[in-house]
Copies of this chain bind each other. A is one copy, B any other.
């Protein structure tokens, strides 16, 4: 059989911005109580508005997480309909009073992505059987048809609500292009098989962990971002450890830094800022 085109079809949804901040505790505690209350009150209501998102169209929510360790104190994640809207929320935050106490330490820009490896292989093979030339108008139309139908079926996963889980784990990743190990030169049928095995592990954890994959080629320094949401952070470890032994990860994956956060609903911001338990 002739070689199929190598590029898998993908669907894109919400634009996604992660922001990590260190909080300037010393300056915060140096403020008079009344000033802190004013700032807090503005921050809570701003964050509440973002967390609720929109009632029409895509949810387009934001959420806050208390981070562990020196990588940052506070992580915000924003789902929006465009990069321009992400820019707007970033600028709006820069106008809040609490932003005086937020020192950016990291960020990540991506777009929610669903990879259609299985459909790609099927569709490419079907079009090839019909003798349709890749990149011909007919071929393009055939792909568009598949993608449109998939996008409609998967809309809630493309423009997701933010899971209410207590813990978030975020990390970026690449597929390796090494001297001998190169994901991008492996045949698409091989990659499809590996992604299927990879996905099978994820499905065994589906009850305990919700996963949102976003693509960042052209947007940020890694190829994908992964957000995992769970009520028990141990499942992050168990899931990722188990996956590390599957071929797609063991052989081909490169991982960036890992960020872990505890969900910080707006109504707990006050306790967080005064060092009280957020439980």
By a CB distance below 8 angstroms, the chain B residues around A253 are: 177
Residues 167 to 189 of chain A near chain B (Cβ within 8 Å):
167, 169, 171, 177-182, 184-185
Nearest CB of B to A178, in Å: 5
Any B CB within 8 A of the CB of A127: no
Nearest CB of B to A245, in Å: 4
Bound CA span A26–B96, Å: 10
By a CB distance below 8 angstroms, the chain B residues around A276 are: 91
Binds B, one of A36-44, A63-71, A116-124, A150-158: A63-71
Bound CA span A266–B279, Å: 28
The size of the chain A interface, using a CB distance under 8 A, is 86
Nearest CB of B to A159, in Å: 14
B204 lies within 8 A of A218 (CB): no
By a CB distance below 8 angstroms, the chain B residues around A22 are: 104
Proximity string of chain A (157-168) to chain B, C-beta cutoff 8 Å, 1 when within and 0 when not: 000000000110
Proximity string of chain A (1-43) to chain B, C-beta cutoff 8 Å, 1 when within and 0 when not: 0000011001010000101101101100100000000000000
Any B CB within 8 A of the CB of A106: yes
Bound CA span A186–B228, Å: 28
**Chain A at the B interface: SS class:** mixed
Residues 215 to 253 of chain A near chain B (Cβ within 8 Å):
215-221, 228, 233-234, 236-237, 239-242, 244-245, 247, 249-251, 253
Any B CB within 8 A of the CB of A196: no
Bound CA span A26–B278, Å: 28
Nearest CB of B to A20, in Å: 7
Name the contact of A109 in the complex, choosing from B26, B69, B135, B204 (C-beta under 8 A).
B69
* Residue from A66, A84, A166, A167 with most neighbouring chain B CB atoms (10 Å): A84
Any B CB within 8 A of the CB of A50: no
14 more A-B contacts (CB under 8 A) besides A7-B242, A185-B245, A219-B236? Answer: A68-B87, A68-B90, A69-B220, A70-B106, A83-B262, A92-B275, A111-B234, A177-B250, A177-B251, A184-B245, A216-B237, A218-B240, A218-B260, A220-B260
